[in-house]
């Protein structure tokens, strides 16, 4: 039996890919498609917009009255609280991939996860979650003599910087090496007195063209450099990960889960 899926941010590029892959996979039926008030496609058949197939579901600026089996939110930070409220009222599990959330919003997510099941991740691709799990372990093996720099590249339209994935990488490295997070983070460098300090982690953000997502972690010392890299060729890796999480979370007990839980990847 197909699971009923509501997509928040359905009018965006990620929303389109989630809809298209959900329809192609035949595991989900689209029960609702939500985006912000004033979106130019409000009222249009979201299937025709996303994948050229009529789904008889219109893009709306409100959540549907009927409950669904699961909600996927790939929208904007300002929409997250409304999504949480809907899922709490409907007792509906949530897959949340929106980045750029404030500490207050993250606290609300933790509070909501006491009542409903939530998968929250700054990046839902399988490969990126492997990188998350390994970056900290490698840093702990290399010890403090290796300088660590993180470089993230995204398209010109991405609003938040640095990326949530870059911050997750830094946080994992800090946890495995005993560094203070976010106190040891330096965001770019400039000036005549910009020498790196021992123990700091540099994060550098690039916004250009239509780059989907490239993350690099550089470990370097005198004589050698180790680099870990992940490149997203298109948005499908994130959409497939979100749909995998949506299928996994249905029926789970209330808790805050990560993609590592979904994929069985060591944290």
Catalytic residue numbers read 154, 158
Query: At residue 7, what are phi and psi to the nearest 5 degrees?
Result: -115, 125
Contact between 45 and 54 (Cβ < 8 Å)? yes
Rounded Cα distance between 252 and 215, Å, is 31
Contact between 116 and 138 (Cβ < 8 Å)? no
Length of the chain: 267
Q: What three-state secondary structure class fits 37?
A: coil
Give the list of residues 6+ apart from residue 220 with CB closer than 8 angstroms, or none: 146, 147, 149, 226
């Amino acid at each position: 039996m197909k699971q009923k899926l509501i997509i928040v941010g359905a009018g965006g590029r990620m929303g389109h890919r989630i809809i298209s892959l959900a329809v192609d996979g035949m595991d989900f039926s689209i029960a609702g498609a939500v985006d912000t008030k004033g979106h130019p496609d409000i009222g249009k058949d979201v299937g025709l917009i996303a994948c050229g197939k009529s789904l008889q579901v219109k893009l709306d600026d409100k959540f549907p009255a009927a409950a669904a089996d699961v909600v996927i939110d790939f929208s904007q930070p300002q929409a997250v609280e409304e999504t949480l409220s809907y899922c709490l009222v409907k007792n509906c599990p949530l897959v949340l991939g929106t980045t750029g959330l404030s500490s207050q919003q993250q606290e609300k997510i933790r509070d909501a996860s006491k009542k409903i099941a939530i998968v929250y991740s700054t990046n839902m691709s399988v490969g990126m979650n492997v990188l998350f799990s390994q970056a900290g372990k490698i840093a702990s093996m290399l010890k403090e003599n290796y300088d660590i720099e993180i470089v993230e590249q995204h398209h010109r339209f991405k609003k938040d910087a640095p990326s949530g994935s870059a911050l997750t990488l830094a946080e994992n490295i800090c946890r495995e090496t005993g560094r203070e997070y976010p106190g040891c983070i330096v965001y770019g460098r400039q000036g005549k007195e910009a020498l790196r300090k021992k123990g700091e982690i540099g994060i550098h953000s690039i916004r250009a063209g239509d780059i989907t997502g490239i993350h690099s972690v550089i470990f370097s010392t005198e004589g050698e450099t180790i680099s870990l890299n992940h490149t997203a060729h298109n948005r499908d890796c994130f959409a497939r990960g979100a749909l995998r999480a949506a299928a996994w979370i249905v029926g789970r007990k209330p808790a805050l889960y990560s993609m590592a839980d979904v994929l069985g990847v060591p944290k």
